[in-house]
A and B are shown apart, each in its own frame.
Chain A
Amino acid sequence: MKKWIFFSIILFCAFLQTGFTGFFRIFGASADLLLICLVAASFFFKQKTAVFFGFLCGILKDLLDIQVFGIHTLLFTVVSVLLTKLSRKLSVENSYLAAVIVFLSSILYGILARFVFSYIDNIIPLGVFWRISILQALYTACVFYFIFRFFKRLIQI
């Protein structure tokens, strides 16, 4: 039941991300709702399930994006594996800490994405990269902080 609820949340977030978050961009950056789902999965589920959800978020992002198919799936899975290892040592009760983890994951995801994009000749200028990276990380962490309790309540049903 818990897994199905989370699966529905992921689908809903993917829908929101293609339909609405574009209207709430700040200097070209918006909150990454699928990354939030990935971090939440690593807090609330066992390693295998969390990595599967990370993989699923990546596939959904790849399906809707214009980049080469598989990039987001690969990056999300890598970030998910790293996070599940880290989250075993942390408490889910502390929302500040969770928001900091989201911030760091978003920065890590940005750095990995830039490496992969440059490998496929899609070089993002350094200035643009830092602007998007930091704004996206801050924005995502803030959104996560506010919806973290909601996530917890929903998962605990």
Chain B
Amino acid sequence: MVLSEKLLAKNDFLRNKINDLNEVLEENKRLRELVSFKNNSGYKVIAAAVIGRGPSNWSSSIIIDKGSSRGIKKGNVSMTFLGLAGRVVEVNNTTSKIMLINDPALSVSAVIQRSRQEALVCGSLGGSLIMKYLPKDSDIKINDSVVTSGLTQNYPKGLLIGTVEDIGEEFSSLSRYAVIKPAVNLSNLEEVLIILQ
């Protein structure tokens, strides 16, 4: 009886240990990918951990654990190894706030990678982004990749934003819009990179 209780306790302990190790393994994978991207990209970047999320439903933001003491400035672009994540809007000494690309207040000039068709990508406070002001005859297809055009200040050219999920026509019938699925899963960001230069 005593032995079985001991074994059960040991079993619980080992389960917890496995769970902890799995967590470390997942973190290790993510950090390896970040470090590999950091070394291969031409940008000067700094990695930061997400320590909080914006409390309001009217904006989409995260709080990171790095601030001006590490060289982060207002306007710096935030990304992951998968693509664009957002932009730094507020910097303190040890923390910063990042407005994510699905916030309607953030607009980025973008191009369809295949056809080089230019338009504006805006947030919709949901899981998708909207690519606006596409001409009626624009060459755009489902699954096309959308990248930054480099025309918006601070955003490097060619940074992946997402892929085209749906195409529609504006109510005015003057232009078209595309629904973009962000390359980065914005709802569960854990680490981000901040482009310093």
CB-based contact A136/B57 at 8 Å? yes
A66/B52 contact (C-beta < 8 A), A29-B57, A132-B58 known: no
CB-based contact A66/B58 at 8 Å? no
Q: Is A157's beta carbon under 8 Å from chain B? A: no
Among the listed A34, A124, A125, A132, which residue makes an inter-chain contact with B55, where contact means beta carbons less than 8 Å apart?
A: A34
CA gap between A52 and B103 in the complex, in Å? 30
Interface-facing stretch out of A15-23, A77-85, A91-99, A141-149: A15-23
Q: Is A122's beta carbon under 8 Å from chain B? A: yes
A125/B90 contact (C-beta < 8 A), A66-B54, A66-B61, A132-B57 known: no
A124/B58 contact (C-beta < 8 A), A18-B63, A64-B63, A132-B125 known: yes
Closest chain A residue to B127 by CB distance?
Answer: A28
Contact with B along A28-68 (1 / 0, CB 8 A): 11101010000000000000000000000000110011110
CB-based contact B58/A19 at 8 Å? no
A28/B54 contact (C-beta < 8 A), A64-B63, A67-B59 known: no
- Of residues 107 through 138 on chain A, the ones whose CB sits less than 8 Å from some CB of chain B are 110, 113, 117, 122-125, 128, 131-132, 136
- Of residues 170 through 192 on chain B, the ones whose CB sits less than 8 Å from some CB of chain A are 187-188
Classify the interface of chain A: helix, strand, loop or mixed: helix
CA gap between A66 and B188 in the complex, in Å? 19
> How close is A129's CB to chain B, nearest CB, in angstroms?
9
CA gap between A132 and B124 in the complex, in Å? 10
Q: Is A152's beta carbon under 8 Å from chain B? A: no
Q: Is B104's beta carbon under 8 Å from chain A? A: yes
- Residue numbers in A under 8 Å from B105 (CB-CB): 122
- Residue numbers in A under 8 Å from B56 (CB-CB): 61, 65, 67, 72
Among the listed B61, B127, B187, which residue makes an inter-chain contact with A65, where contact means beta carbons less than 8 Å apart?
A: B61
Among the listed B53, B57, B125, B187, which residue makes an inter-chain contact with A19, where contact means beta carbons less than 8 Å apart?
A: B53
Number of interface residues of B (CB under 8 A): 25
- Residue numbers in A under 8 Å from B66 (CB-CB): none
CB-based contact A66/B57 at 8 Å? no
Q: Is A4's beta carbon under 8 Å from chain B? A: no
CB-based contact A128/B55 at 8 Å? no
CB-based contact A61/B55 at 8 Å? yes
- Of residues 83 through 142 on chain B, the ones whose CB sits less than 8 Å from some CB of chain A are 89-90, 97, 99, 102-105, 124-127
- Residue numbers in B under 8 Å from A17 (CB-CB): 55
Q: Is A25's beta carbon under 8 Å from chain B? A: yes
CB-based contact B104/A125 at 8 Å? yes
CB-based contact A66/B97 at 8 Å? yes
**A residues within 8 Å of B by Cβ?**
14, 17-19, 21-23, 25, 27-30, 32, 34, 60-61, 64-67, 72, 110, 113, 117, 122-125, 128, 131-132, 136
11 A-B pairs with CB atoms under 8 Å apart are: A23-B187, A28-B125, A32-B55, A34-B55, A65-B54, A65-B55, A65-B61, A66-B54, A125-B104, A131-B126, A136-B57
**B residues within 8 Å of A by Cβ?**
52-61, 63, 89-90, 97, 99, 102-105, 124-127, 187-188
**What 7 pairs across the A-B complex have the smallest Cβ distances?**
A28-B126, A22-B53, A18-B52, A17-B55, A66-B61, A28-B125, A122-B105
